Amino acid sequence: MLNPTLSLTQPKSLSLLFPLNPSTSAPWSPLVTTHRKVPHNRSKPVRLISTYRVKCINDLTVAPLTEVSVTAIVTVQMTIGGRFANLGLNRGLDGITDLLGKSLQLELVSAEIDPKTGKQWNHISAYARHKDYEHLDNEAKYEAEFKVPIGFGGVGAIVVENDHRKEMFLKNIVLVTDNDEASKITFVCDSWVHSKFDNPEKRIFFSVKSYLPSQTPKSLEDLRRKDLESLRGDGTGERKNFDRIYDYDVYNDLGDPDSKDGDMARPVLGGSKQFPYPRRCRTGRPRTKKDPHSERRSSNVYIPRDESFSEVKNTTFSAKTLRSVLHAVVPSLETAIYDTKLGFPYFTAIDSLYDEGVKLPEQEGLSFFRTLVPRIIKAVRDTTENVLLFETPEMINRDKFSWFRDEEFSRQTLAGLNPYSIKLLTELPIVSKLDPAIYGPPESLITPELIEREIKGAMTAQEAIMKKKLFILDYHDLLLPYVHKVRELDNTTLYSSRTVFFLTHENTLMPIAIELTRPASPTKPQWKQVFTDNWDATSAWLWKLAKTHVCAHDSGYHQLVSHWLRTHCCVEPYIIASNRQLSAMHPIYRLLHPHFRYTMEINALAREALISAGGIIERSFSPRKYSMELSSVAYDLEWQFDMEALPADLIRRGMAVEDPKAEHGLRLTIEDYPFANDGLLIWTSTKQWVTDYVNHYYETPNDVLQDSEIQEWWLEIRTKGHADKKDEPWWPKLENQDDLIQILTTIIWVTSGHHAAVNFGQYHYAGYFPNRPTIARTNMPVEDEVPNSESFKKFWRKPEDALMECFPSQIQATVVMAVLDILSSHSPDEEYISEKPELVWKSDPVINAAFERFNGRMKEIEGIIDDRNLDTKLMNRCGAGIVPYELLKPFSGPGVTGKGIPNSISI
């Protein structure tokens, strides 16, 4: 267990106070025979203090020791390539600095006040000299020696100045008193320290002991305030790579207004009533020439330095491989498949992606990628040729034809990639909320009579509503305003859709009707039609085409809303606010910090190449260039913080009701709802861990109210991070421990369980794109009822060809598959929920015990989920050829496993 403070009031070895004379007896004797225990105070460590008197020897008094020796051992992580990776003038100057012993200057800061003066102890400074350790390949060691006066007390902070010309990554600093191993304490750094030549401001690292603001030792109050101020910046200037500034900005860098034809311009998201949006990290880049509101894009997107560990950590495996896909593999695919409209001619051509692959032209970067992810890029017959050879997705590996069946289409609404959209249908008729003067008649054609016909008279439609038997995927009002806009684009189309399901006695869903709608236009009236799976061939094929459109809608909503918006995008303001308002020594900062790892780096990469104008999303998903605009509309209509908690989300969608007698206090509307069943296990266990943690630091509601940092943190999340919704009445209050527990559990759930559920199954389910096409490119052949149209004739003659033309093109499908393979993959050193305690938690026995209980519960959940996947009564997760629902199993190995809940949104 870590020692939280280094106390220099009384060395553990008495010989450190009074050196022994070998020819005499011990020069000290106890003044009292008992120890005095200092009363517990959260602002100071518990210490045992003994009192001694000096013993006279031969009429001589041995003077008491006035200072002790302390050694600081600094561990520096080497950059990739080792110590001499960056040869050059600066590297040479840094080598000279090391030789002169002027590499790092350290200052020890006492956590106590000097009792003699009543003021702060002066900082004790020393330079750390470089030490060579031949057995350490990836680390360098620096040592500093200090002479510390007795009574200095616990070391509460260490101030560091880097005298090198280049930044250094500090892993930790270990302090040892007079080589006494029992006195060893560790300051956890895990941070980049900039060169003083880039920024003269020194870095501050606090001890592992956590303090609420009011409990901060007086001697550390100024450092606590100064450290926070250094992270906020002043909101001006362009940020440099070495900066650690956290500030807010709108999404004004997604487009390129200065492009030649202007087609790459995109609206600013955030800061307006038309396009409200969460905030992202401010970079301060120059504005574009044609649009002063838009920021000029660049290939190097600033994020605060400690949010990226790409040069020293293997965890950026995901970021590196994703960059390789975007900058090497995607261009190669575009060269190999030069016709962007070319579809797959038949299903065996799709199968060949897993058997023969796509031969890629030689391009710089592919050889590196092949060694990094041999799963995707493979060498052909031991030559240097590269081929994009996809692994067969788990779903198709188990059952090649499962995607074709209605049962699987329905099952995936509960146990697939997007379990967040299915809702209880609570009233008939179904009516749109959009303006009928613009979009046409609002009533749905899925009438009670049609429902009763499709369920074969099992009950009336009203009885089905009352018995909670009807459910809906409703993308009507969200998509309808974009139908005509998207249809103006080349090689694509769009409808709005409603899909209604009936709950069977086996707790499985049966799709009974799909409605597709095209709104009225100046030249055409509204068109809508309901498709059902009838017994005749024409209806059966039209049903398959209608399902393709619905799957494309669901894929787009999943990627843009359930995944990007609700996890990646909405979490970034929490990260910014936490760093700006919560001190590194605040217990809540330390609770949240593991759940924010690498999110800002991944988000910056997404803005660079995935969600930006001309990026993967715009080229390959149904809303095309309106994709991000659509996510803004969803944010406006649907997102509210209190509903991001899993229980509240289930209740809002009618998928659960409160029931104090039920497990987790909820009774599910569909008993066999794998996402909800497993998710509630994770939610409840996480909430218990957060409860134990919060109640350890906050004894009364007043402690929460008087915590200035946590109150400013919550205020800033609402008024700056989500500024466009700052006046909404649903924001939770923060007045007591329960409020704080609910807020923190919601944030942790979104970064862990929610993200895992919508991310790590992507290749399993969408790696075979006919199961989840990202785009539908052609209209329904019966639109406008023109039976002699060319599209209808083609459909009539060979309906399979019509389906293949509707699917994504070859380039769209293969690019998305390559990206999804990476997005679904766990890094080799992924950190999973509850798996590894932070070192600062281990220093506190109460917190450490609570975390051990959390870890034990997660291990228990692993077994519960395994048992559920073997229960044949649970048909939504167990059956012939069905992929077991493991997306919310807490732990996983590296690679594409379809399970594992990382602490953070790290890919």
Q: Which residues are catalytic?
A: 563, 568, 755, 759, 907
Q: Do 446 and 501 meet the contact criterion of CB atoms below 8 Å apart?
A: no
Q: Do 246 and 580 meet the contact criterion of CB atoms below 8 Å apart?
A: yes
- Bond into 429 cis (ω within 30): yes
Give Cα 576 to chain centroid, integer Å: 14
Q: At what angle do helices 790-797 and 799-806 cross, to 10 degrees?
A: 120
Backbone phi, then psi, for 193, in 5-degree steps? -115, 115
Q: Is 281 helix (H, G, I), strand (E, B) or coil?
A: strand
Extract the tokens encoding 354.
């897993």
Distance between CA 586 and CA 565 in Å, rounded? 28
Distance between CA 173 and CA 227 in Å, rounded? 18
Tallying the residues shown for the chain, one arrives at 907
User: At a CB cut-off of 8 Å and minimum separation 6, what does 470 contact?
Assistant: 424, 425, 451, 461, 464, 500, 501, 502, 503
Distance between CA 61 and CA 63 in Å, rounded? 6
Q: What does the DSSP assignment read for 249-264?
A: E-B--SS-TTSTTSTT
- A 10 A CB-CB count for 23 gives 6
The secondary element (H helix, E strand) that includes residue 542 is helix 537-557
Backbone phi, then psi, for 348, in 5-degree steps? -65, -25
Greatest alpha-carbon span in the chain: 122
Q: What does the DSSP assignment read for 398-461?
A: H-TTGGGSHHHHHHHHHHSS-TTS-EE---SS-B--S-HHHH---B-S--HHHHHHHTTTSS-H
First and final CA of the chain: distance in angstroms?
32
Identity at 457, one-letter amino acid code: G
Backbone phi, then psi, for 283, in 5-degree steps? -110, -25
Distance between CA 645 and CA 662 in Å, rounded? 18
Distance between CA 886 and CA 861 in Å, rounded? 11
Q: Do 819 and 766 meet the contact criterion of CB atoms below 8 Å apart?
A: no
CA-based nearest residue to 704, from 731, 733, 737, 732: 737
